A and B are shown apart, each in its own frame.
Chain A
Amino acid sequence: MMRLIIGLFAGSLFGAGLVIAQMTDPSRVLGFLDVFGHWDPRLGLVMFGAIAVHAPFVIWSRQRAKPVLARSIHLPAQTKVDARLVIGAAVFGVGWGLAGYCPGPAIASAFTNPSALLLTLSMIGGMLIHDGLLGRRVVKGVLQPKTLDHDEGTQGQGVSS
């Protein structure tokens, strides 16, 4: 129950942040990405602000033994830059540049904007297609310690308390 409440609180903060920053407006996002046109640099402040808050906590947490409600931090087991990472990031970048939606803003506005809903459903389809084509092989191919996640996006192998 505690984990659900923490998740709910964190998700709400995250959603509020996206809406306030207007990340949920694809034309703003595309304006930020349009560096060769009328570049609107302001959305860069979203990432700057988020890192400015999060990075000090990450550094501070290194002096602590462990998270409050888990045995360890669930870090990705993969640490090397490989072809999958680069190709995956490039494919994501193409999709992001085409419509101006990345996953968070898409799902946050899925119920108020039919375009975001369509993109979200299609995105889920893309994830399932990936797992159908490549997912199983990877899970079998990479043996991981049980306390580690195998990705940055918490696609977790992690077992937590």
Chain B
Amino acid sequence: MNQYQYAPPLLGGLLIGLSASILWLTLGRIAGVSGIIGSTLTRPSRDISWRFGFLAGLIGIGSLMLSRRGAEASVHSGPVLLLVAGLLVGFGTRLGNGCTSGHGVCGLSRLSPRSVVATAVFVATAMLVVFVVRHWIGAAA
């Protein structure tokens, strides 16, 4: 077990900010992962190359680093919960036009009112769900 302190999340955040800035300054694009996945799925003919590259890099580096680190991630959710959660994440990010990256990082960085509202809503909702699952259902079980 490595010591998990404040530096790794901060460093990770800096890299994510750098990534978003590169897309913004070169291609004029927003680094929103749900949007990139959605566009790749539904409109593969339109300006696909950078999106394809982005997803390839994300999956490639992610796989490489995670396989070297070994099984650090501890998932306690069963398959049904994962299935339901995935459906909600996919449907919700499409309906709300963005996720943690598009709204939470890029949108907040340019103070987009839509992103400020969206981020407040999804963070608050997620915290509420964790509260209900862990402290109501969890306590009752």
Which residues of chain A come closer than 8 Å to B37, judged between CB atoms? 103, 107, 123-124, 127
Pairwise interchain contact A153-B87, C-beta atoms closer than 8 A:
no
Pairwise interchain contact B90-A126, C-beta atoms closer than 8 A:
yes
Pairwise interchain contact A33-B126, C-beta atoms closer than 8 A:
yes
Pairwise interchain contact A47-B104, C-beta atoms closer than 8 A:
yes
Tell me the chain B residues, 5-44 only, with Cβ under 8 Å from chain A: 5-6, 8-39, 41-43
Contact of B90 among A20, A46, A125, A152 (CB under 8 A): A125
Tell me the chain B residues, 101-133 only, with Cβ under 8 Å from chain A: 101-110, 112-115, 117-119, 121-131, 133
Which residues of chain A come closer than 8 Å to B13, judged between CB atoms? 17, 21, 45-53
Looking across the interface, which residue of chain A has its beta carbon closest to that of B71?
Answer: A113
- Whether B140 is near chain A, meaning CB under 8 Å from some CB there, is no
Pairwise interchain contact A67-B92, C-beta atoms closer than 8 A:
no
Pairwise interchain contact B26-A68, C-beta atoms closer than 8 A:
yes
Which residues of chain A come closer than 8 Å to B123, judged between CB atoms? 33, 93
Known: A90-B122, A158-B47. Contact between A15 and B72, CB under 8 A? no
Report whether over half of chain B's contact residues are helix, strand or loop; otherwise say mixed: helix
Pairwise interchain contact B28-A12, C-beta atoms closer than 8 A:
no
Which residues of chain B come closer than 8 Å to A99, judged between CB atoms? 75, 77, 81-82, 85-86
Pairwise interchain contact A92-B99, C-beta atoms closer than 8 A:
yes
Report whether over half of chain A's contact residues are helix, strand or loop; otherwise say mixed: helix
Interface residues on A, range: 35 or more
Contact of A81 among B23, B117, B133 (CB under 8 A): B117
Which residues of chain A come closer than 8 Å to B121, judged between CB atoms? 86, 89-90, 93
Tell me the chain A residues, 45-88 only, with Cβ under 8 Å from chain B: 45-55, 57-58, 61, 66-76, 78-81, 84-88
Interface centre among A26, A71, A155 (most CB of B within 10 A): A155
Known: A20-B11, A81-B117, A151-B97. Contact between A112 and B23, CB under 8 A? no
Contact of B21 among A53, A111, A160 (CB under 8 A): A53
Shortest C-beta distance, B47 to chain A (Å), equals 6
Contact of B17 among A51, A89, A155 (CB under 8 A): A51
Which residues of chain A come closer than 8 Å to B104, judged between CB atoms? 47
Which residues of chain B come closer than 8 Å to A109, judged between CB atoms? 62-63, 66, 73
Tell me the chain B residues, 34-88 only, with Cβ under 8 Å from chain A: 34-39, 41-43, 46-47, 49-63, 65-67, 69, 71-77, 79, 81-88
Additional A-B contacts beyond A92-B89, A155-B39 (5; CB < 8 A)? A27-B75, A36-B131, A115-B82, A127-B90, A153-B32
Residue pairs across A and B with Cβ atoms less than 8 A apart, 13 shown, are A6-B23, A11-B54, A11-B60, A14-B15, A34-B131, A46-B9, A85-B117, A86-B117, A108-B66, A112-B63, A115-B77, A118-B83, A130-B95
Chain B interfacial positions (CB closer than 8 Å to A): 4-6, 8-39, 41-43, 46-47, 49-63, 65-67, 69, 71-77, 79, 81-110, 112-115, 117-119, 121-131, 133-135
